[in-house]
Amino acid sequence: INWGAVAASGVSYTFVKVGSTKSGIDPRFHENIVNAQAAGVRTGVYIYSYARNVPEAINEANLVLQWIENYNINFPVAFDIEDSTQKGLDANTVTAMCNAFCDVIASAGYHPIVYTGANFYMSHMTPALRYDKWIAHYASACKVPGYSVWQASQTGRIAGVPSNVDINYMVKDYRSYILPV
């Protein structure tokens, strides 16, 4: 990724994959976060979750904290929960997992957010979710109310990126909540 070209195209923030419990830290995490920040792009991170219960979600949160401890994270830390291993879980369990992950992240001083698809959200989460939502819904409008970030496409094109990228719209202005260090 040519992060200078990305920034010049008007992109002001990104979420960089930090990793997962199956593959470990993403091999491009360091390169992407350092180069995005050098280009002036605000950087949040996300972990792709395979957790199936609250203790596993807490473990994933602690893993993220270890992986990001030497970086300036100046956008939300996301819990990406959408894997097929989680589809059989009930809404109370998934909501509790999301809250537990986010509690750990928030207690460490970061701003957490939960990422998932609109259908997974509607079938696997309850109103007891206490944290911001980043919802993927590829349509002309997001059908989930109260989202903070809407991922409207996964086939966008941005200068500096040689492949399709996700296109997200920020409703909650995290720049006023998370100040750069």
Global pTM reads 0.95
Q: Cβ distance 79 to 115 under 8 Å?
A: yes
The mean pLDDT of 165-173, rounded to a whole number, is 93
In 21-129, beta strands by DSSP E? 24-25, 42-48, 77-80, 112-117
90 has pLDDT over 80: yes
Q: What are phi and psi of 3, to 5 degrees?
A: -65, -25
* Band of pLDDT at residue 82, cut at 50, 70 and 90: very high
The residues, ordered by sequence, that sit 6+ positions from 85 with a Cβ below 8 Å of its Cβ are 50, 52
Query: In 3-state terms, the chain is what percent helix, strand and coil (to 5)?
Result: 35, 25, 40
Question: In DSSP terms, which residues pair with 153 in a beta bridge?
Answer: 167
What is the overall mean pLDDT for the chain?
95
